[in-house]
Amino acid sequence: MTPVEQQFETLKTLSKCEKATLKRLPSGAHLITIPDFKMPQGWNKDVVTIFFVTPPAYPAAQPDCFWLAPPGVRVANGAIPQNSNDTNPIPEVGNGGTWFSWHVQSWNPNSDSLVTFFNVIMQRLRPAR
């Protein structure tokens, strides 16, 4: 089992996302899909699908950005979320919904993992902004 596959199994268990999937892309990157994710309060959608990509050089290179589907994820008051838009497609996949330009501030490939990046996504979604 590759490091991505091992970490993906841990992510599924710790995040309680048993329906999550891992798909290898032609470049060697991987698409992680987490369906039926219950959004925190403050958003216009109750349930979304989360997408993020591990680059081919993962774990030396960290994941960057994420998408929420369906498109049109907004703050509950209708505002467009900070650092997001509905027009940036998932590389090698196509439109994934609302893209969030959200980046890991520090990454240590010896200790950080897919769970680390999932926690970065959670920090971005709480509070809604």
Q: Tell me the residue range of the domain where 29 lies.
A: 3-125
Beta strands in the chain (DSSP E): 21-24, 30-38, 47-54, 66-69, 84-85, 98-100
The number of distinct structural domains making up the chain is: 1
Residue pair 106/67 in contact by the 8 Å Cβ criterion:
no
How does pLDDT run along the chain (129 residues), one tens digit per residue?
889 999 999 999 988 888 999 999 999 999 999 999 999 999 999 999 999 999 999 999 999 999 999 999 999 999 999 999 999 999 999 988 999 999 998 999 999 999 999 999 999 999 999
- Read off the pTM: 0.95
* CATH code of the domain containing 103: 3.10.110
Identity of residue 124: R
Per the structure block, which two tokens stand in for 113? 């993992």
Query: Residue 46, CB half-sphere, CA atoms under 13 Å: how many?
Result: 0
Measured between alpha carbons, how far is 116 from 44 in angstroms, rounded to an integer? 26
